[in-house]
Amino acid sequence: MTGEPSSEAPDLAPPALAPPAGGQDASDPVSAGPAPGSPSDGPTDRVNILLVDDQPANLIALEAMLHGLDQHLVKASSGREALKWLLAHEFAVILLDVKMPDMDGFETATLIRQRDKSRHTPIIFLTAADKTDTQAVRGYAVGAVDYLVKPVVPEFVRSKVVVFVELAKKNELLRRQAELLRTSEQEARDLADTRAELVRDLEHKNRELESFSYAVSHDLRAPLRRIESFSRAVQDSQAERLDADGRRYLDRVREASQQMSQLIDDVLYLARVTRAEMRDQEVDLSGLVTLWLERMREAERAREVEVKVRPGVMVAADGQLLRIAVENLLENAWKFTARTPAARIEFGQSNAGGEPAYFIRDNGVGFDMAYADRLFGPFQRLHLASEFPGTGIGLATVQRIIHRHGGRVWAEGMLGQGATFHFTIGRTRA
């Protein structure tokens, strides 16, 4: 009589979650969760404890002692059965009877230690009163962490087992934290990879766009130059043969080609503004506005323009880009007041929802507010080129520059009443 169920194969196939054979209570099919006596492998607060003894009465006694710990208790009635459980499940601690037929506790422990999965599982040996010191030494040599003599004191067994239950739970927690850390590190790496790929893709597309712009400017300019030079040649050498209409048509051809050349320049200019590297500088906005207006009055002395500039406005921005934006706004103010008798241009600061905003206001021709958003699109113009020359790239440039700073730009106007262009810079120096 080996004490083992005859159905067990000696080479130990891993058991299913249900107890392998004999000695276990039939589980209650109604109760939720793992059946009593089944080890738990999922993420649960309970750990598995393996009780190994060939005497059913001893197993029942151990079970009674440990019942109050509220952990999964798994009973095995032989060393082989214990090994079978250990193949497929993790245990916090093994209570192992030394004296068993067929394979005793020490042999069982030696086999337990030989397996990776259970190499470090704590073992507490339980032995009858025939203990000797040599047995104890042998017990420790095969990896016992403790050694208890039967009849064991229930309190004593419980307090020792509790230590290993806590240890197993802490280890599990550590393992999960380490896993979490690994996953989040992996996720961060994946994210960085995706980002790098997107940046590479974007850079590639930008380069393509750049070479496209270059090709456009290069290829379009060459035939334009020929139109330009041949129409000039016709004008120079054939002028007397042409009548007034012919000469006028030729003038139109030359005007159109010059306008197209300007458009090409503007497209390339807009692309450059978008790509230019940003610098963080302290910019004297008032100084910039004053200087530009003085130069303009100098250049067009015939014009009477009253200017009002708020002094001392300093902002944190890219000086060169911001100058381009502000000059575009001033150019418009100057241009669209050309037919206004008492022209006035003002630069000031206001408040847009707690954020400093700046504005350039004029009392020129103004515009219909219904089209206020359209103004910032490239080549969008509300006025006739014959009345107010231009290509419609100025406000698109302004908007790109302001957006690159993280700011906003918007327009207010009324037909015949002038216009105000507001902007914020986004990053304001504290």
Ligand X SMILES: Nc1ncnc2c1ncn2[C@@H]1O[C@H](COP(=O)(O)OP(=O)(O)O)[C@@H](O)[C@H]1O
Range 50-61 burial, b when 16+ CB lie within 10 A, else e: bbbbbeeebbeb
For the CB of residue 429, give the shortest distance to ligand X in the complex, in Å: 28
Our finding on whether 333 is near ligand X (CB under 6 A) is yes
Our finding on whether 307 is near ligand X (CB under 6 A) is no
For the CB of residue 183, give the shortest distance to ligand X in the complex, in Å: 51
- To which residue do tokens 């492998």 refer? 41
Signed CA dihedral, 287, 288, 289, 291: sign only: positive
Select the span of 294-302, 305-313, 390-398, 399-407 touching Mg ion (CB under 5 A): 390-398
Q: Environment class of residue 364 by beta-carbon count within 10 Å: exposed (0-12), middle (13-18) or buried (19+)? A: buried
Task: Using alpha carbons, list the distances in angstroms from residue 183 to 42, 81, 174, 405.
Answer: 19, 37, 14, 36
Q: Which of 307, 395, 402, 409 binds ligand X (CB under 6 A)?
A: 395
In three-state secondary structure terms, 99 is coil
Q: Give the nearer residue to Mg ion in terms of CB position, either 51 or 345.
A: 345
Q: Which of 262, 274, 391, 428 binds ligand X (CB under 6 A)?
A: 391
For the CB of residue 177, give the shortest distance to ligand X in the complex, in Å: 58
Q: Which of 366, 402, 405, 407 binds ligand X (CB under 6 A)?
A: 366
Name the nearest CA neighbour of 285 among 330, 319, 334, 333.
319
| Beta-carbon contacts of residue 153 (< 8 Å; ≥ 6 apart) | none
Please, what's the largest Cα pairwise distance for the chain? 136
Q: Which of 38, 78, 286, 332 binds Mg ion (CB under 5 A)?
A: 332
Cα–Cα dist 400/403, whole Å: 5
Q: Give the nearer residue to Mg ion in terms of CB position, either 364 or 394.
A: 394
Our finding on whether 332 is near ligand X (CB under 6 A) is yes
Select the span of 153-161, 209-217, 393-401, 413-421 touching Mg ion (CB under 5 A): 393-401
- What are phi and psi for residue 37, nearest 5 degrees? 90, -5
Region 343-362 residues binding ligand X, contact defined as CB under 6 A: 362
Q: Give the nearer residue to ligand X in terms of CB position, either 65 or 326.
A: 326
Q: Which of 113, 383, 403, 404 binds ligand X (CB under 6 A)?
A: 383
For the CB of residue 238, give the shortest distance to ligand X in the complex, in Å: 34
Our finding on whether 420 is near Mg ion (CB under 5 A) is no
Q: Which of 19, 364, 394, 413 binds Mg ion (CB under 5 A)?
A: 394
Our finding on whether 111 is near ligand X (CB under 6 A) is no
Given a contact cutoff of 8 angstroms between Cβ atoms, the answer to whether 334 and 296 are in contact is yes
Select the span of 101-109, 214-222, 315-323, 394-402 touching ligand X (CB under 6 A): 394-402
Q: Which of 381, 403, 404, 408 binds ligand X (CB under 6 A)?
A: 381
Angle between helices 394-404 and 319-335 (to 10 degrees): 150
β-pair type (355-362, 344-352)? antiparallel
Query: Which of ligand X, Mg ion, none sits in contact with 365, Cβ below 5 to 8 A by type?
Result: ligand X
In the β-sheet with 355-362, what is the strand arrangement from edge to edge?
Answer: 306-309, 344-352, 355-362, 418-423, 409-414
Name the nearest CA neighbour of 278 among 325, 241, 221.
325
Select the span of 111-119, 178-186, 257-265, 326-334 touching Mg ion (CB under 5 A): 326-334
Cα–Cα dist 368/350, whole Å: 23
Region 35-94 residues binding ligand X, contact defined as CB under 6 A: none
For the CB of residue 380, give the shortest distance to ligand X in the complex, in Å: 6
Q: Give the nearer residue to ligand X in terms of CB position, either 122 or 413.
A: 413
Our finding on whether 390 is near ligand X (CB under 6 A) is yes
Q: Which two tokens stand for residue 246?
A: 């012919």
**Residues of the shown chain interacting with ligand X in the complex, contacts defined by CB under 6 A:** 328, 332-333, 336, 362, 364-367, 375, 380-383, 390-396, 413, 419
The residues of the shown chain that bind Mg ion, judged by CB under 5 A, are 332, 394
